[in-house]
A and B are shown apart, each in its own frame.
Chain A
Amino acid sequence: MSQIFKRSSNALAKASLIGVVATLAFLGWVVMLLMRSSFVTGQNAYVDQPIQFSHAHHVGGMGIDCRYCHTTVETSAFANIPPTKTCMNCHSQVWNQAPILEPVRASFRDNTPLEWTRVHDLPDFVYFNHQVHVAKGVGCATCHGRVDQMPLMLQHASLQMEWCLECHRAPEKFLRPKEEVFNMAYEAPANQLELGNRLKQQYGIASVEHLTSCSTCHR
C-alpha cells in the first residue's frame, strides 16, 4: 500500500503550524489596530449638531475665553454646556436675523432647550473631573486639541484608557503653568520635563501610585 502522504506533506504540516500561529497573531494585530482606530474610538469624526457652532470663529476669531461658556470648568467635574441665554447675550444683538441661528432663537422663545450630541463621551463607569485637572495645570488643549481651530467640534484624542494613563503615569510630560491652562496656542517649552517636575512639586500633584489607582477614575 502506498503512502497516503507524500514527503512534502511534512513541510506543509510544519508550514501550516506556523501559518496558524501567524494567522492568529495577524488577526490579533488587526483587532488591536481596529480597537485603536478612529472607527472604534470616534476620534476626529465630526458629529451632527443642531447648530453648526464654530469654535474656530468664537474662540479663534473673536477671542472668547473658554470659561465664558464653560462656566463651571473650574468648580465642578462637569464643564457645563452653556444655556441658550449665553448665546442670546450676543445674538440678540448680532446676527439676530441669521437663518442659521433660528434654532437658538426658537429655543429661547419657546423655552425648549437645545439638544447637543455629546462629543467627548466617556464610558459611564469613568468619572472624569474637569475641576481638578484645570486646577493642576492640565491645559484645555492637551485633551481637547486646538479647539480654536476647529470649525466643527470633534474628539481630538482617542479617550481610551491607555491615553489617560499616558499622563497619569507621567504627568510631568504634560503639565503647564496654571495661567496657561486656557491658552489654546500654548507650546510646550524645550525643557518641558524640567518644568513639569517643578510644577508637579508646586501644585502638589498626587503620586503616580495614586493617579493610577483604579478608584481615582472608576467607582
Chain B
Amino acid sequence: MNFSEIRTRLDGLDGRTYWRSLDELAGTPEFQDFLHREFPSQASEFTDPKGRRDFLRLMAASIALAGATACTRQPPEKIIPYVRQPEELVPGRPLFYATAMPLGGYGMPLLAESHMGRPTKTEGNPEHPASLGATDIYGQASILDLYDPDRSRTILHRGEVSTWDSFVTAMRAQLNAQTATQGAGFRILTEPITSPTLLDQIETLLRTFPGAKWHQWDPVFGVMQTSGAAPAAAAATYRLEQADIVVALDADIFGMGPGMVRAQKDFAKRRRVDHPGQDMNRLYVAEPALTVTGAKADHRVALRARDVHAFAAALAGAVGAGSAAGVAGDIPEDVRSTWIPAIARDLQAHRGRAVVIAGDTQPPAVHALARAMNESLGNVGATVIYGEPLTGTNRDGIASLGELVGDMAAGRVEVLLMLGGNPVFTAPGHLGFAHHLDRVPLRVHLSQALDETSTLCHWHLNEAHFLESWGDIRSFDGAVTIIQPLIAPLYGGKTALDVIAALNGQGDKSGLDLVRDYWTRAMGGVTTAAWNIEFGETFDKTWRKALHDGFIAGTSSFDAASTEPTAPTEPTATGTTGATQPTQPTTNMSGLEIVFRPDPTILDGRFANNAWLQELPKPLTKITWDAVAYVSPRTAQRLGLESRDLATLTYRGAAQQMPIWVQPGHAEESVTVHFGYGRTKAGRVGSNVGFNAFTLRRAEAPWFDGGLEITKAGTYDISTTQVHHSMESRNLVRVVTKEQYAAHPSVVHEMAHTPAPGMTLYPKFEYNGYKWGMAIDTSTCTGCSVCIIACQSENNIAVVGKEGVGRGREMHWLRVDTYYAGNIDTPETYHQPVPCMQCENAPCEQVCPVAATTHSAEGLNDMVYNRCVGTRYCSNNCPYKVRRFNFLLYSDYTTPSFDMMRNPDVTVRSRGVMEKCTYCVQRINHARGDAKTEGRTIADGEIKTACEQACPSDAIVFGDLNDPNSRVSKLKAQERNYGILEDLNTRPRTTYLAAVRNPNPEIEPAATHTSGAMGH
C-alpha cells in the first residue's frame, strides 16, 4: 500500500472527503474486486465450463429433492400445560425481572425477559442509575453465555465426575488440617468483589483462618493502577451531564469500565442539539489507539501512552494545578504551544463545569494530576465525586497475583481456591503462573467452562450463570442490586457464594437465604459495613422493593438524598494488606511502545466462546474473530508493514506473532495489542482463535511500555466488515460545526440534492394509521455497537464464522459504518448505524418475483420468509445494502439449549432465505395488540426497537410519523435531519441527524473548516 500516494490524493481533493478504510483510499485490487461482487465467491462458478455443468447438475438434483421434501407434513406439536400454574404467569406474555450482570466485580443492572420461565433477552434497567435503560454489549450477549452448549455440566475431581457433597467433604477435611497453622497454607484467589454478602462470607472465613490470604486478580478490572499517589482516583464517579468541557487523558470512558453506559447517557444529554445555536459540550482526548471515546472527540491528539503523563503535566501547569517540570515524555510542539494553552483557557472559562478524567490504564501520577486539576478548577463535587473504592480490597491486582505466585513458587501454598477468573490464561506470561500452580497440592477452580485453569486443577466446580443464581452486587455508583435467578441452574452450577458459605459451614443454606440473611443483619445494623440507608418499616417490604426495582434505594451515589455509604472495612486486615512488591511502574520510555488493551468485544478472553461477541465487528476497525496489533500509517511505513501482515513482536525477551492492522489516527511509534484471543480451552467457538497477547504482558508495566521490536513474518487473513457494503464514496455522513449550524441551519440540506416528494410514477399511498419511522442522531452515536448485539438477540440472528464474514456473508441486520474525514494520520471519525431504511419507494419490492417482500399499510417493508425462494434480486437492488442472505444453514437447529434462548416471537430463518431489519415488527404487533384491546392508540415511546432500547446514547428514536408530537417527528423536523441516498427517491423512513461538532475556535479557526462542499 502506498501511503504517500494516498496522502497526495487526499490533499488534492476539494472540501471534506469521507472514507471508510485505507483499502478504499488506496483502491487496492482486492477492494475493487470485493466491491464488484455484492456477494463474492459465487459468480465465478459460471465462468468455468466444467464448474457450470456440475453446478447445473447439482441444481437439478436439488430442485427435484426440494420438491420431494416440500411434501412433508408438519410434525404434531405437544402442548404441555402446568400442573399448577403460577399466578402471575400469562403464557405468551413475557415477564421481566430486575437483576445484574457481574463483570470485573461490578454489576451491570439488567431487566431480564422471561418467556414461560426461559430467559430470552436482557435489557437495561431503566430505573437503575447505572443503566437508565441501556446496556453494554456484554449485558446483551450474556444470554448466549447462559445457553452456551460448552458450559461445564458437572463437578470434576481429577477429571472424573464427582459431586458437590464429595467436594465439600474433601475440602473441609483439607481445611481442618489447616486449622493447626490457622490456615497458613490456604489461599483464595478471586476476581474483584463488590458483593456485600460475599465480602461478609469471605471475612467470616478469614476470621476462621487468620493465616490464610485472599488474593484478587483480574487482567482488566483488577489492574487499575490505584496504588501510590492517588489511591482513591479510580473510585471517582463523573457527572458528565454537568460538564461543559471534558478532557480524557487516555480514558476510554465510553468503551471500557463499569461506568461506560452511564457515561454515554450523560455525555449524550449534553451533546444533543435540538435547535441551531444550542449549547453543547466539548470533548478533548489524548490517547494512543483510536477508541470510541477518541472518535467522539472534538479535538483528539494521538499520543503514545507514555507521553500522556507529560501532556497531563503540561496541562496541569497551564491550568495552574501543578508544575510540568521533570516529567519525562514528549508531546508534539504544536500541541504544547497551541492546544494546551487553548484547552487550559477553555477549562478555566468553565470552572466547576469541566472535568479532567484520567484513564485506568495510566499510572497514579496522571490520576493525581487529574485530581489536582479538578480540585483547582472547582470541579470536585460538581462534575466529579471522589469516593472510596467499592471492591473489597483496593489492592493492586498485579501485586496481589505476584505475591501469590511467589508463595506458590516457595511452596507455601497448600490449598488454593480459585473462584472465577482464568488466571492460567490471563496472568502475565513471565510470571509462570501455570508452572508454579503445579506445586500446589490441592487446587480448586470454580468456572463456567472447563477452561485453561480448570484443566490444571484437582477440582473443577461448574459455576452457575448469573441468570441462574442468587447474589448481590454493586454497580460503579455504589448502588446495590440483588441478583435474582431467572431459571434454576441448567447444570446444577454453584456460585462463589455457595462455595464460601459451604466452607463456613453454611452449606445447607441456599443462595437466597445467604443474601437475605446478610441484608436482614444489615437492616439491624449488625454488619461490618455500616449502611447509611433508610430501610423500610419491615424487612420484607424493603426486600421486595429492592428485588422489584433492581437496587436498594439510597445506595447509589447518584441518589442526591443519600449519604455516601461507608465502604466495608478491609476484611483481609489479617496480614495480607501489604503487597510484598510495590508496583512502581518501570516503564521504558524509549523505543517502540507497546500498549496493552483488553479486546473491545471478547474482553480478556472470558467471552471467547460467545459467538455473538466474536462476530461483532470491533468498533472502528470492524475486525471480527481476531486480535491484531494496531500501528499508525507512518509507523507502518517506517517498519515496512501493511495491514494483514503477520509480524513477530519481541518485547523483553518474549516473542509473539500478531497480525498487523494499519489504523488511521493511531499514535506514532506505538503499537496497540488487544489481549483476550488465543485461548486454547474456551470451547467450540473460541478455542485456537487468534493470537495471545498475554504472553507479552509484564507485571511491571501491565498497560504500556517501550522497547518493542517488530519484524514481518508473513501474511495473515483478517475478516473485517469495514469494506463490506461500501457506499462507493457517496457522502452519507454529514457533519457541521456548531457555529455553521447556528449561522446557517439549512447547511445540512444543501449538502445534497433531494427530489421533490411527488416525483414518482407509482401511485401515491396515504398512510392513514400509524406511519413508522426512525431517526438516528449521528451526533451522539459513539459507535459502541451494542445495538448490533441487541438486534441479534432480539431477532434470532445467526452467526456465520470468520470465513463467512470474510466472504461478506455476515447476517447482522444492523451495521455501524465508520467514516473517517481528513488526512490519514489525524482523521476525524464518525459513526453511522445502518438498519433497513424501510423506503417508501422500496427498490427491493419491485424486483421480487414471488412478492416475498412487500409494503405494509404502515410503511414497513415486510419480509415474508416463507415466500422467499432466495433469488437475491432484492439485495442486489438495495442501494443501502442492508439485506442479508442465508447462504448456508446458519441457524443452529440441533443444539437443544439454543431452542430455549430464541425469541419465540420471531421466526428462525433457514437456508436460502433473505432477511433484514423489520423495525422489530414483533414489538410493534405486541404493543398494537394491547392498544387495540384497550381501545386506544399506541402511545409515543411505547414501542422501542431493540437497538433503540439498548442504545446508551439514546441516538436511535423510533415512533409514529403521523403523530406530530412524537419524539421521532420532532427529530425529523429538525434542520439537521437528512436521508441517505435520497437522490434515488427511495424516500427512506430511517433518516439521520447530521453530526454537530463543537471545535475550540482557538485550535480550529472557523475559517479553516470548509462548509460541506460535498458534491451530489
| A residues at B contact (CB < 8 Å) | 40, 47, 72, 74-78, 80-85, 107-108, 111-118, 121, 123-125, 127, 129, 131-132, 135-136, 204, 206-207, 209-210, 213-216, 218-219
What are 5 A-B residue pairs whose CB atoms fall within 8 Å in the complex?
A: A75-B93, A80-B81, A204-B932, A206-B857, A209-B857
Q: How far is the CA of A116 from the CA of B858 in the complex (A)?
A: 38
CB neighbours of A113 from chain B (8 A): 80-83
Contact for A111 among B74, B83, B92, CB less than 8 A: B83
Interface positions of B from 624 to 661, Cβ below 8 Å from A: none
Kindly state whether residue B337 has any CB partner on chain A within 8 Å.
Answer: no
Whether the pair A215, B907 counts as a contact (CB closer than 8 A) is no
B922 CB to nearest chain A CB (Å):
5
Q: Mark B916-937, 1 if CB is under 8 A from A, else 0.
A: 0010011011001110110100
CB neighbours of B85 from chain A (8 A): 82-83, 85
Contact for A72 among B92, B858, B866, B929, CB less than 8 A: B92
9 other A-B residue contacts (CB within 8 Å) besides A77-B93, A85-B82, A206-B857:
A72-B90, A76-B91, A78-B92, A117-B79, A131-B929, A132-B928, A136-B932, A210-B856, A213-B857
Whether the pair B862, A215 counts as a contact (CB closer than 8 A) is yes
Q: Which residue of B lies closest to A129 (CB)?
A: B929
Whether the pair A117, B857 counts as a contact (CB closer than 8 A) is no
Whether the pair B905, A218 counts as a contact (CB closer than 8 A) is no
Q: Which residue of B lies closest to A212 (CB)?
A: B857
Q: Which residue of A lies closest to B922 (CB)?
A: A219
Whether the pair A214, B81 counts as a contact (CB closer than 8 A) is no
Interface size class of B (residues with CB under 8 A): 35 or more
Whether the pair B74, A132 counts as a contact (CB closer than 8 A) is no
CB neighbours of A107 from chain B (8 A): 83
CB neighbours of A111 from chain B (8 A): 83
Whether the pair B856, A127 counts as a contact (CB closer than 8 A) is no
Kindly state whether residue B50 has any CB partner on chain A within 8 Å.
Answer: no
Kindly state whether residue B47 has any CB partner on chain A within 8 Å.
Answer: no
Q: How far is the CA of A74 from the CA of B929 in the complex (A)?
A: 11
Kindly state whether residue B36 has any CB partner on chain A within 8 Å.
Answer: no
CB neighbours of B863 from chain A (8 A): 214
A2 CB to nearest chain B CB (Å):
41
Kindly state whether residue B877 has any CB partner on chain A within 8 Å.
Answer: no
Whether the pair A76, B93 counts as a contact (CB closer than 8 A) is yes
B848 CB to nearest chain A CB (Å):
12
Given known A121-B76, A218-B862, contact A83–B81 (CB-CB < 8 A): yes
Whether the pair B84, A85 counts as a contact (CB closer than 8 A) is yes
B381 CB to nearest chain A CB (Å):
50
Q: How far is the CA of A110 from the CA of B905 in the complex (A)?
A: 32
Given known A76-B91, A132-B929, contact A127–B905 (CB-CB < 8 A): yes
Q: How far is the CA of A127 from the CA of B926 in the complex (A)?
A: 11
Whether the pair A127, B769 counts as a contact (CB closer than 8 A) is no
Q: How far is the CA of A116 from the CA of B80 in the complex (A)?
A: 6
Contact for A123 among B74, B80, B860, B921, CB less than 8 A: B74
Q: Which residue of B lies closest to A218 (CB)?
A: B864
Q: Mark B604-616, 1 if CB is under 8 A from A, else 0.
A: 0000000000000
Whether the pair B865, A125 counts as a contact (CB closer than 8 A) is yes
Whether the pair B76, A72 counts as a contact (CB closer than 8 A) is no
Q: How far is the CA of A82 from the CA of B85 in the complex (A)?
A: 8
Q: How far is the CA of A210 from the CA of B855 in the complex (A)?
A: 10
Contact for B862 among A124, A131, A214, CB less than 8 A: A214
A54 CB to nearest chain B CB (Å):
18
Q: How far is the CA of A75 from the CA of B934 in the complex (A)?
A: 10
Contact for B769 among A132, A210, A218, CB less than 8 A: A210
CB neighbours of B73 from chain A (8 A): 40
Q: How far is the CA of A78 from the CA of B93 in the complex (A)?
A: 9
Whether the pair A129, B769 counts as a contact (CB closer than 8 A) is no
CB neighbours of B769 from chain A (8 A): 206-207, 210
Whether the pair B925, A219 counts as a contact (CB closer than 8 A) is yes
Given known A77-B929, A113-B82, contact A218–B858 (CB-CB < 8 A): no
Whether the pair B79, A123 counts as a contact (CB closer than 8 A) is no
Q: How far is the CA of A209 from the CA of B84 in the complex (A)?
A: 42
Q: How far is the CA of A126 from the CA of B85 in the complex (A)?
A: 26
Contact for B932 among A47, A74, A121, A135, CB less than 8 A: A135
Q: Which residue of A lies closest to B76 (CB)?
A: A117
Contact for B77 among A121, A215, A219, CB less than 8 A: A121
CB neighbours of B76 from chain A (8 A): 47, 117-118, 121
Q: Which residue of A lies closest to B936 (CB)?
A: A204
Interface positions of B from 887 to 943, Cβ below 8 Å from A: 905-907, 918, 921-922, 924-925, 928-930, 932-933, 935
Q: Which residue of A lies closest to B854 (CB)?
A: A214
B771 CB to nearest chain A CB (Å):
12
Given known A121-B76, A210-B858, contact A131–B933 (CB-CB < 8 A): yes
Q: How far is the CA of A76 from the CA of B918 in the complex (A)?
A: 22
B701 CB to nearest chain A CB (Å):
53
CB neighbours of A83 from chain B (8 A): 81-85
Whether the pair B79, A81 counts as a contact (CB closer than 8 A) is yes
Q: Which residue of A lies closest to B861 (CB)?
A: A215
Whether the pair B74, A207 counts as a contact (CB closer than 8 A) is no
B91 CB to nearest chain A CB (Å):
5
CB neighbours of B925 from chain A (8 A): 127, 129, 215-216, 219
CB neighbours of A210 from chain B (8 A): 769, 856-858
A124 CB to nearest chain B CB (Å):
7
Contact for B933 among A40, A117, A135, CB less than 8 A: A135
Contact for A75 among B81, B90, B866, CB less than 8 A: B90
Kindly state whether residue B768 has any CB partner on chain A within 8 Å.
Answer: yes
Whether the pair A116, B79 counts as a contact (CB closer than 8 A) is yes
Q: Which residue of A lies closest to B923 (CB)?
A: A219
Contact for B921 among A75, A112, A219, CB less than 8 A: A219
Q: Which residue of B lies closest to A111 (CB)?
A: B83
CB neighbours of B768 from chain A (8 A): 207
